Structure 1
Amino acid sequence: SVEGHPPDVVVSHANRLLMDMETDLFATCCYVDIDMEEGFAWCVRAGHLPPVLRHPDGRTEIAEAEGGPPLGVIRQSDFPMSPLRLQPGTMVALTTDGLVESPDIDIDEGMDRFARQLAAADPAHLEPVADALLGKAPRSDDVALLLVRYDGMAARPLRESWTVWRVPQAVGHARRFTRRTLRSWGVSENVDAALLVVSELVTNALVHTDGQVRLDLTLVNGRLRLAVADASPRTPVKPTSIGWEATGGRGILLVEAVSAAWGTLPVSGGKQVWAEFVLRH
Protein backbone atom coordinates (compact mmCIF):
# COMPACT_ATOMS: atom_id res chain seq x y z
CA SER A 1 0.00 0.00 0.00
CA VAL A 2 2.70 2.50 0.97
CA GLU A 3 4.42 1.75 -2.34
CA GLY A 4 1.48 3.33 -4.13
CA HIS A 5 -0.15 0.18 -5.56
CA PRO A 6 -3.93 0.26 -6.14
CA PRO A 7 -6.11 -1.75 -3.75
CA ASP A 8 -6.68 -4.70 -6.10
CA VAL A 9 -2.92 -5.17 -6.50
CA VAL A 10 -2.35 -4.91 -2.73
CA VAL A 11 -4.95 -7.60 -2.03
CA SER A 12 -3.59 -9.81 -4.84
CA HIS A 13 -0.09 -9.55 -3.34
CA ALA A 14 -1.47 -10.45 0.09
CA ASN A 15 -3.21 -13.48 -1.44
CA ARG A 16 0.00 -14.70 -3.08
CA LEU A 17 1.93 -14.15 0.16
CA LEU A 18 -0.52 -16.32 2.08
CA MET A 19 -0.44 -18.98 -0.64
CA ASP A 20 3.38 -19.04 -0.57
CA MET A 21 3.29 -19.79 3.16
CA GLU A 22 1.92 -23.25 2.18
CA THR A 23 -0.34 -23.61 5.20
CA ASP A 24 -4.03 -24.38 5.61
CA LEU A 25 -4.63 -20.82 6.80
CA PHE A 26 -6.89 -18.42 4.97
CA ALA A 27 -8.22 -14.96 5.78
CA THR A 28 -11.00 -12.66 4.68
CA CYS A 29 -10.38 -9.00 3.97
CA CYS A 30 -12.18 -5.78 3.11
CA TYR A 31 -9.82 -3.07 1.89
CA VAL A 32 -11.08 0.52 1.47
CA ASP A 33 -8.76 3.19 0.07
CA ILE A 34 -10.16 6.70 0.64
CA ASP A 35 -9.07 9.73 -1.37
CA MET A 36 -9.43 12.47 1.22
CA GLU A 37 -9.28 15.25 -1.34
CA GLU A 38 -11.85 13.92 -3.78
CA GLY A 39 -14.30 12.26 -1.38
CA PHE A 40 -13.96 9.01 -3.28
CA ALA A 41 -12.95 5.50 -2.29
CA TRP A 42 -12.14 2.15 -3.88
CA CYS A 43 -13.28 -1.00 -2.10
CA VAL A 44 -11.87 -4.52 -2.57
CA ARG A 45 -13.38 -7.55 -0.84
CA ALA A 46 -11.82 -10.98 -0.37
CA GLY A 47 -14.54 -13.20 1.08
CA HIS A 48 -15.48 -10.46 3.56
CA LEU A 49 -18.59 -8.46 4.40
CA PRO A 50 -19.07 -5.24 2.40
CA PRO A 51 -18.79 -1.79 4.01
CA VAL A 52 -21.88 -0.09 5.36
CA LEU A 53 -22.20 3.63 4.66
CA ARG A 54 -24.19 6.05 6.81
CA HIS A 55 -24.84 9.12 4.69
CA PRO A 56 -25.09 12.64 6.19
CA ASP A 57 -28.91 12.59 5.92
CA GLY A 58 -29.11 9.44 8.04
CA ARG A 59 -29.67 6.97 5.22
CA THR A 60 -27.62 3.78 5.37
CA GLU A 61 -26.39 1.73 2.47
CA ILE A 62 -24.79 -1.70 2.34
CA ALA A 63 -22.26 -1.12 -0.41
CA GLU A 64 -22.71 -3.21 -3.55
CA ALA A 65 -19.07 -4.19 -3.77
CA GLU A 66 -18.20 -7.20 -5.91
CA GLY A 67 -15.77 -9.53 -4.17
CA GLY A 68 -13.22 -12.27 -4.67
CA PRO A 69 -12.48 -15.43 -2.66
CA PRO A 70 -10.81 -15.40 0.76
CA LEU A 71 -7.06 -14.87 0.81
CA GLY A 72 -4.99 -18.04 0.66
CA VAL A 73 -7.55 -20.20 -1.17
CA ILE A 74 -6.94 -19.70 -4.92
CA ARG A 75 -3.58 -18.43 -6.18
CA GLN A 76 -4.83 -16.87 -9.42
CA SER A 77 -7.80 -14.85 -8.21
CA ASP A 78 -9.36 -11.60 -9.32
CA PHE A 79 -10.20 -8.99 -6.71
CA PRO A 80 -12.31 -6.34 -8.47
CA MET A 81 -12.42 -2.76 -7.21
CA SER A 82 -15.77 -1.11 -6.51
CA PRO A 83 -16.18 2.68 -6.26
CA LEU A 84 -17.68 4.44 -3.23
CA ARG A 85 -18.74 8.10 -3.28
CA LEU A 86 -18.38 9.86 0.09
CA GLN A 87 -19.99 13.16 0.98
CA PRO A 88 -18.59 15.09 3.96
CA GLY A 89 -20.18 13.62 7.07
CA THR A 90 -20.40 10.07 5.69
CA MET A 91 -19.55 7.30 8.15
CA VAL A 92 -17.95 4.11 6.82
CA ALA A 93 -18.34 0.97 8.92
CA LEU A 94 -16.35 -2.25 8.47
CA THR A 95 -17.03 -5.28 10.62
CA THR A 96 -16.73 -9.05 10.84
CA ASP A 97 -19.45 -11.65 10.75
CA GLY A 98 -19.13 -12.14 14.52
CA LEU A 99 -20.98 -8.85 14.99
CA VAL A 100 -23.86 -9.52 12.61
CA GLU A 101 -24.33 -13.31 12.57
CA SER A 102 -25.46 -15.70 15.29
CA PRO A 103 -27.22 -19.07 15.50
CA ASP A 104 -30.55 -17.21 15.64
CA ILE A 105 -29.86 -14.59 12.94
CA ASP A 106 -28.53 -15.19 9.44
CA ILE A 107 -25.92 -12.87 8.01
CA ASP A 108 -28.24 -10.91 5.69
CA GLU A 109 -30.69 -10.15 8.50
CA GLY A 110 -27.78 -9.25 10.74
CA MET A 111 -26.37 -6.82 8.18
CA ASP A 112 -29.77 -5.14 7.84
CA ARG A 113 -29.98 -4.77 11.61
CA PHE A 114 -26.43 -3.40 11.71
CA ALA A 115 -27.37 -0.80 9.07
CA ARG A 116 -30.46 0.24 11.09
CA GLN A 117 -28.34 0.68 14.20
CA LEU A 118 -25.94 2.91 12.27
CA ALA A 119 -28.84 4.99 10.95
CA ALA A 120 -29.96 5.70 14.52
CA ALA A 121 -26.45 6.58 15.71
CA ASP A 122 -24.93 10.04 16.16
CA PRO A 123 -22.04 10.20 13.67
CA ALA A 124 -20.47 13.18 15.45
CA HIS A 125 -19.05 10.89 18.16
CA LEU A 126 -17.72 7.56 16.90
CA GLU A 127 -16.57 6.07 20.21
CA PRO A 128 -20.09 5.90 21.73
CA VAL A 129 -21.35 4.49 18.42
CA ALA A 130 -18.75 1.72 18.58
CA ASP A 131 -19.55 1.01 22.23
CA ALA A 132 -23.27 0.72 21.45
CA LEU A 133 -22.71 -1.61 18.51
CA LEU A 134 -20.25 -3.84 20.35
CA GLY A 135 -22.31 -3.90 23.51
CA LYS A 136 -25.16 -5.62 21.68
CA ALA A 137 -22.94 -8.11 19.87
CA PRO A 138 -23.22 -11.85 20.52
CA ARG A 139 -19.99 -13.33 21.87
CA SER A 140 -20.06 -16.63 20.02
CA ASP A 141 -17.35 -15.47 17.60
CA ASP A 142 -14.53 -12.96 17.35
CA VAL A 143 -15.73 -9.43 16.69
CA ALA A 144 -13.91 -6.56 14.99
CA LEU A 145 -15.31 -3.12 14.13
CA LEU A 146 -13.81 -0.12 12.34
CA LEU A 147 -15.65 3.20 12.03
CA VAL A 148 -14.41 6.12 9.92
CA ARG A 149 -16.14 9.47 9.39
CA TYR A 150 -15.17 11.34 6.24
CA ASP A 151 -15.30 15.08 6.93
CA GLY A 152 -13.77 16.31 3.69
CA MET A 153 -10.88 18.76 3.67
CA ALA A 154 -11.03 22.40 4.69
CA ALA A 155 -8.24 23.21 2.25
CA ARG A 156 -7.04 21.39 -0.84
CA PRO A 157 -3.30 20.75 -0.97
CA LEU A 158 -1.09 22.68 -3.37
CA ARG A 159 1.28 20.38 -5.26
CA GLU A 160 4.10 20.75 -7.77
CA SER A 161 6.64 18.24 -9.09
CA TRP A 162 10.00 18.50 -10.86
CA THR A 163 11.95 15.79 -12.68
CA VAL A 164 15.61 16.10 -11.70
CA TRP A 165 17.85 15.48 -14.70
CA ARG A 166 21.35 14.14 -14.11
CA VAL A 167 23.20 17.21 -15.32
CA PRO A 168 25.91 19.25 -13.54
CA GLN A 169 23.42 22.01 -12.67
CA ALA A 170 20.74 19.60 -11.35
CA VAL A 171 20.81 20.78 -7.75
CA GLY A 172 20.70 24.43 -8.78
CA HIS A 173 17.74 23.76 -11.06
CA ALA A 174 15.90 22.01 -8.23
CA ARG A 175 16.56 24.94 -5.89
CA ARG A 176 15.30 27.48 -8.45
CA PHE A 177 12.17 25.40 -9.07
CA THR A 178 11.55 25.26 -5.32
CA ARG A 179 12.08 29.01 -4.87
CA ARG A 180 9.70 29.86 -7.75
CA THR A 181 7.05 27.47 -6.42
CA LEU A 182 7.21 28.78 -2.86
CA ARG A 183 7.00 32.37 -4.15
CA SER A 184 3.92 31.50 -6.22
CA TRP A 185 2.31 29.96 -3.12
CA GLY A 186 3.05 33.04 -1.05
CA VAL A 187 5.48 31.23 1.26
CA SER A 188 8.08 33.58 2.70
CA GLU A 189 9.25 31.85 5.89
CA ASN A 190 11.70 28.97 6.16
CA VAL A 191 12.62 29.45 2.50
CA ASP A 192 16.37 29.23 3.08
CA ALA A 193 15.97 26.13 5.22
CA ALA A 194 13.72 24.56 2.60
CA LEU A 195 16.28 25.24 -0.13
CA LEU A 196 18.99 23.66 2.03
CA VAL A 197 16.86 20.53 2.46
CA VAL A 198 16.22 20.36 -1.28
CA SER A 199 19.96 20.64 -1.94
CA GLU A 200 20.81 17.85 0.48
CA LEU A 201 18.07 15.43 -0.56
CA VAL A 202 18.60 15.92 -4.28
CA THR A 203 22.37 15.60 -3.91
CA ASN A 204 22.00 12.36 -1.94
CA ALA A 205 19.69 10.91 -4.58
CA LEU A 206 22.01 11.84 -7.45
CA VAL A 207 25.18 10.63 -5.75
CA HIS A 208 23.96 7.41 -4.16
CA THR A 209 21.32 6.09 -6.59
CA ASP A 210 20.76 5.45 -10.29
CA GLY A 211 17.67 6.09 -12.37
CA GLN A 212 15.08 8.82 -12.24
CA VAL A 213 14.87 11.35 -9.42
CA ARG A 214 11.75 13.42 -8.72
CA LEU A 215 11.17 16.36 -6.40
CA ASP A 216 7.65 16.84 -5.00
CA LEU A 217 6.42 19.90 -3.08
CA THR A 218 3.17 19.94 -1.10
CA LEU A 219 1.57 22.67 0.99
CA VAL A 220 -1.55 22.01 3.07
CA ASN A 221 -2.87 23.40 6.35
CA GLY A 222 0.33 25.30 7.07
CA ARG A 223 2.64 22.33 6.52
CA LEU A 224 5.19 22.34 3.72
CA ARG A 225 6.51 18.93 2.63
CA LEU A 226 9.58 18.51 0.42
CA ALA A 227 10.07 14.98 -0.91
CA VAL A 228 12.65 13.42 -3.22
CA ALA A 229 11.94 10.03 -4.79
CA ASP A 230 14.57 7.78 -6.36
CA ALA A 231 14.89 4.21 -7.64
CA SER A 232 16.89 2.76 -4.72
CA PRO A 233 15.07 0.98 -1.87
CA ARG A 234 17.95 1.66 0.54
CA THR A 235 17.00 4.01 3.36
CA PRO A 236 19.51 6.76 4.14
CA VAL A 237 21.33 6.17 7.39
CA LYS A 238 21.91 8.96 9.87
CA PRO A 239 25.58 8.80 10.95
CA THR A 240 26.28 8.45 14.65
CA SER A 241 29.54 10.39 14.45
CA ILE A 242 31.49 12.33 11.82
CA GLY A 243 35.14 13.29 12.06
CA TRP A 244 36.06 16.97 11.74
CA GLU A 245 38.06 16.22 8.59
CA ALA A 246 35.14 14.50 6.77
CA THR A 247 33.97 16.28 3.62
CA GLY A 248 30.53 14.65 3.46
CA GLY A 249 27.98 12.58 5.34
CA ARG A 250 26.22 15.47 7.08
CA GLY A 251 23.23 15.76 4.73
CA ILE A 252 20.65 13.86 6.80
CA LEU A 253 21.90 15.53 9.98
CA LEU A 254 21.28 18.92 8.39
CA VAL A 255 17.83 17.88 7.20
CA GLU A 256 16.94 16.72 10.70
CA ALA A 257 18.29 19.89 12.27
CA VAL A 258 16.36 22.41 10.17
CA SER A 259 13.04 20.60 9.56
CA ALA A 260 10.15 19.79 11.90
CA ALA A 261 10.14 16.13 10.83
CA TRP A 262 11.67 13.88 8.20
CA GLY A 263 11.40 10.25 7.13
CA THR A 264 11.32 7.75 4.29
CA LEU A 265 8.62 5.79 2.47
CA PRO A 266 8.92 2.87 0.04
CA VAL A 267 7.61 3.91 -3.37
CA SER A 268 7.32 1.58 -6.41
CA GLY A 269 10.49 -0.36 -5.77
CA GLY A 270 12.41 2.71 -4.66
CA LYS A 271 11.91 5.20 -1.85
CA GLN A 272 10.87 8.73 -1.06
CA VAL A 273 12.79 10.81 1.48
CA TRP A 274 10.72 13.69 2.87
CA ALA A 275 11.01 16.61 5.24
CA GLU A 276 8.31 18.91 6.63
CA PHE A 277 8.18 22.49 7.85
CA VAL A 278 5.44 24.05 9.95
CA LEU A 279 4.54 27.53 8.67
CA ARG A 280 3.07 30.11 11.03
CA HIS A 281 1.46 32.19 8.26
Structure 2
Amino acid sequence: MGNPSPNEAGREACAVPAVPATAQLRRRLAKADLRAVSEVRGALREFLRQWGRPGAADVAELLTSELVTNALVHTDDDAVVTASVGPRGLRVEVRDFAGNRPEPRAPDPDDSTHGRGLVLVQSLADAWGVRAHGVGKAVWFELGGGSAA
Protein backbone atom coordinates (compact mmCIF):
# COMPACT_ATOMS: atom_id res chain seq x y z
CA MET A 1 0.00 0.00 0.00
CA GLY A 2 2.97 2.37 0.03
CA ASN A 3 4.35 4.28 -2.94
CA PRO A 4 3.78 2.85 -6.40
CA SER A 5 6.62 0.91 -7.94
CA PRO A 6 8.51 2.63 -10.80
CA ASN A 7 6.63 0.43 -13.29
CA GLU A 8 3.23 1.42 -11.88
CA ALA A 9 4.19 5.10 -11.87
CA GLY A 10 5.34 4.80 -15.50
CA ARG A 11 2.04 3.26 -16.56
CA GLU A 12 0.13 6.12 -14.96
CA ALA A 13 2.32 8.69 -16.72
CA CYS A 14 1.81 6.95 -20.08
CA ALA A 15 -1.94 6.59 -19.68
CA VAL A 16 -3.97 8.00 -22.56
CA PRO A 17 -5.72 11.19 -21.43
CA ALA A 18 -9.46 10.92 -21.11
CA VAL A 19 -11.47 12.29 -24.02
CA PRO A 20 -13.94 14.93 -22.85
CA ALA A 21 -17.35 13.39 -22.40
CA THR A 22 -20.01 14.34 -24.89
CA ALA A 23 -23.20 15.72 -23.37
CA GLN A 24 -26.23 13.78 -24.52
CA LEU A 25 -30.02 14.02 -24.46
CA ARG A 26 -32.06 10.91 -25.27
CA ARG A 27 -35.84 10.47 -25.44
CA ARG A 28 -38.04 7.59 -26.56
CA LEU A 29 -41.25 8.76 -28.22
CA ALA A 30 -44.45 6.75 -28.30
CA LYS A 31 -46.06 5.90 -31.61
CA ALA A 32 -48.12 8.77 -33.06
CA ASP A 33 -47.71 10.91 -29.90
CA LEU A 34 -47.50 14.34 -31.51
CA ARG A 35 -47.42 15.99 -28.06
CA ALA A 36 -43.86 14.67 -27.94
CA VAL A 37 -42.80 17.25 -30.54
CA SER A 38 -43.17 20.18 -28.14
CA GLU A 39 -41.80 18.13 -25.23
CA VAL A 40 -38.66 17.31 -27.21
CA ARG A 41 -38.28 20.97 -28.24
CA GLY A 42 -38.42 22.04 -24.59
CA ALA A 43 -35.95 19.38 -23.49
CA LEU A 44 -33.59 20.31 -26.33
CA ARG A 45 -33.87 24.02 -25.47
CA GLU A 46 -32.84 23.28 -21.88
CA PHE A 47 -30.07 20.92 -23.02
CA LEU A 48 -28.63 23.55 -25.39
CA ARG A 49 -28.95 26.53 -23.05
CA GLN A 50 -25.16 27.17 -23.00
CA TRP A 51 -24.27 25.87 -26.45
CA GLY A 52 -23.39 27.31 -29.77
CA ARG A 53 -23.62 30.26 -32.04
CA PRO A 54 -26.34 32.87 -31.55
CA GLY A 55 -29.52 31.46 -33.03
CA ALA A 56 -28.15 27.93 -33.43
CA ALA A 57 -30.29 26.52 -30.63
CA ASP A 58 -33.40 27.92 -32.35
CA VAL A 59 -32.38 26.25 -35.61
CA ALA A 60 -31.69 22.99 -33.74
CA GLU A 61 -35.18 23.09 -32.19
CA LEU A 62 -36.81 23.71 -35.57
CA LEU A 63 -34.92 20.93 -37.35
CA THR A 64 -35.46 18.48 -34.49
CA SER A 65 -39.18 19.13 -34.45
CA GLU A 66 -39.31 18.52 -38.21
CA LEU A 67 -37.51 15.17 -37.92
CA VAL A 68 -39.57 14.09 -34.90
CA THR A 69 -42.82 15.02 -36.64
CA ASN A 70 -41.78 13.07 -39.76
CA ALA A 71 -40.94 9.99 -37.69
CA LEU A 72 -44.24 10.09 -35.81
CA VAL A 73 -46.46 10.92 -38.79
CA HIS A 74 -44.88 8.78 -41.51
CA THR A 75 -44.17 5.60 -39.53
CA ASP A 76 -46.36 3.36 -37.46
CA ASP A 77 -43.99 2.85 -34.53
CA ASP A 78 -42.02 4.52 -31.75
CA ALA A 79 -39.02 6.77 -32.36
CA VAL A 80 -35.86 7.62 -30.41
CA VAL A 81 -34.30 11.09 -30.38
CA THR A 82 -30.66 11.53 -29.42
CA ALA A 83 -28.90 14.89 -29.27
CA SER A 84 -25.16 15.05 -28.60
CA VAL A 85 -22.93 18.08 -28.10
CA GLY A 86 -19.21 17.61 -28.48
CA PRO A 87 -16.17 19.59 -29.54
CA ARG A 88 -17.33 19.61 -33.17
CA GLY A 89 -20.86 20.81 -32.45
CA LEU A 90 -24.36 19.36 -32.19
CA ARG A 91 -25.65 16.15 -33.73
CA VAL A 92 -29.32 15.21 -33.52
CA GLU A 93 -30.52 11.82 -34.66
CA VAL A 94 -34.11 10.61 -34.87
CA ARG A 95 -34.34 6.86 -35.22
CA ASP A 96 -37.51 5.12 -36.27
CA PHE A 97 -38.32 1.52 -37.04
CA ALA A 98 -39.62 1.83 -40.61
CA GLY A 99 -37.49 0.97 -43.61
CA ASN A 100 -38.65 3.65 -46.05
CA ARG A 101 -36.02 6.32 -46.76
CA PRO A 102 -37.21 9.92 -46.67
CA GLU A 103 -36.33 12.16 -49.59
CA PRO A 104 -36.57 15.95 -49.74
CA ARG A 105 -39.22 17.06 -52.18
CA ALA A 106 -40.48 20.35 -53.47
CA PRO A 107 -43.38 21.47 -51.30
CA ASP A 108 -46.80 21.53 -52.91
CA PRO A 109 -47.92 25.19 -53.03
CA ASP A 110 -51.50 24.07 -52.35
CA ASP A 111 -50.50 22.23 -49.17
CA SER A 112 -49.22 24.63 -46.52
CA THR A 113 -48.41 21.98 -43.91
CA HIS A 114 -46.62 19.11 -45.66
CA GLY A 115 -43.45 18.58 -47.65
CA ARG A 116 -41.21 21.21 -46.11
CA GLY A 117 -39.47 19.34 -43.27
CA LEU A 118 -36.54 17.78 -45.08
CA VAL A 119 -36.14 20.84 -47.30
CA LEU A 120 -35.65 22.89 -44.11
CA VAL A 121 -33.18 20.34 -42.75
CA GLN A 122 -31.29 20.30 -46.03
CA SER A 123 -31.06 24.09 -46.21
CA LEU A 124 -30.32 24.93 -42.54
CA ALA A 125 -28.12 22.05 -41.28
CA ASP A 126 -24.38 22.00 -41.81
CA ALA A 127 -24.71 18.29 -42.67
CA TRP A 128 -27.54 15.77 -42.67
CA GLY A 129 -28.30 12.29 -43.86
CA VAL A 130 -30.08 8.99 -43.45
CA ARG A 131 -28.38 5.95 -42.00
CA ALA A 132 -29.86 2.47 -42.23
CA HIS A 133 -30.27 0.68 -38.93
CA GLY A 134 -30.83 -3.04 -38.35
CA VAL A 135 -34.55 -2.33 -38.21
CA GLY A 136 -35.44 1.06 -39.57
CA LYS A 137 -33.26 4.09 -40.05
CA ALA A 138 -31.84 7.16 -38.36
CA VAL A 139 -32.25 10.60 -39.91
CA TRP A 140 -29.66 12.99 -38.53
CA PHE A 141 -28.34 16.52 -38.81
CA GLU A 142 -25.34 18.40 -37.52
CA LEU A 143 -24.79 22.03 -36.62
CA GLY A 144 -21.30 23.32 -36.01
CA GLY A 145 -20.56 25.49 -33.03
CA GLY A 146 -18.93 25.27 -29.72
CA SER A 147 -19.27 26.38 -26.15
CA ALA A 148 -20.84 29.73 -25.55
CA ALA A 149 -18.32 32.09 -24.07
**TM-score, normalisation: structure 2:** 0.78
Q: Point out where structure 2 has 5 or more consecutive residues left out of the alignment.
A: 1-9
Partners in 2 of 1:216 and 1:209 — Cα distance? 18
Partners in 2 of 1:250 and 1:197 — Cα distance? 11
Amino acid at match of 2:140: W
Task: Return the match for 2:129 from 245, 263, 266.
Answer: 263
What is the aligned partner in structure 2 of residue 195 from structure 1? 61
What is the aligned partner in structure 2 of residue 250 from structure 1? 116
What is the aligned partner in structure 1 of residue 47 from structure 2? 181
Q: Does 1:219 align with 2:79?
A: no
Q: SS at the partner of 1:202?
A: helix
User: What is the CA-CA distance between 1:212 and the residue it aligns to?
Assistant: 1.4
Q: Does 1:274 align with 2:140?
A: yes
What is the aligned partner in structure 2 of residue 19 from structure 1? none
In the TM superposition, what whole-angstrom CA distance separates every residue of 1:224-245 from its partner, at most 9, and x where no partner exists? 0011000012111111x33322
Amino acid at match of 1:264: V
The structure 1 segments of at least 4 consecutive aligned residues displaced by more than 3 Å after TM superposition are none
Partners in 2 of 1:280 and 1:158 — Cα distance? 12
Counterparts in 2 of 1:188 and 1:223: CA distance versus 1, 3 Å: closer
User: What is the CA-CA distance between 1:262 and the residue it aligns to?
Assistant: 0.2
Partners in 2 of 1:179 and 1:208 — Cα distance? 25
What is the aligned partner in structure 1 of residue 7 from structure 2? none
Partners in 1 of 2:18 and 2:76 — Cα distance? 37
**TM-score, normalisation: structure 1:** 0.43
Q: Does 1:157 align with 2:22?
A: yes
Task: Return the match for 1:205 from 59, 64, 71.
Answer: 71
Partners in 1 of 2:33 and 2:104 — Cα distance? 27
User: What is the CA-CA distance between 1:223 and the residue it aligns to?
Assistant: 1.3
Q: SS at the partner of 1:192?
A: helix
Q: Does 1:231 align with 2:103?
A: no
8 Å CA contact retained: 1:212, 1:231: yes
Deviates more, 1:223-232 or 1:187-196: 187-196
User: What is the CA-CA distance between 1:174 and the residue it aligns to?
Assistant: 1.0
In the TM superposition, what whole-angstrom CA distance separates every residue of 1:109-164 from its partner, at most 9, and x where no partner exists? xxxxxxxxxxxxxxxxxxxxxxxxxxxxxxxxxxxxxxxxxxx7642211120111
Partners in 1 of 2:24 and 2:107 — Cα distance? 36
Counterparts in 2 of 1:153 and 1:246: CA distance versus 1, 3 Å: farther
Partners in 2 of 1:243 and 1:158 — Cα distance? 38
User: What is the CA-CA distance between 1:203 and the residue it aligns to?
Assistant: 0.4
Aligned length: 130
Q: What is the CA RMSD across the aligned residues, in angstroms?
A: 1.9
Amino acid at match of 1:237: E
User: What is the CA-CA distance between 1:255 and the residue it aligns to?
Assistant: 0.5
8 Å CA contact retained: 2:68, 2:94: yes
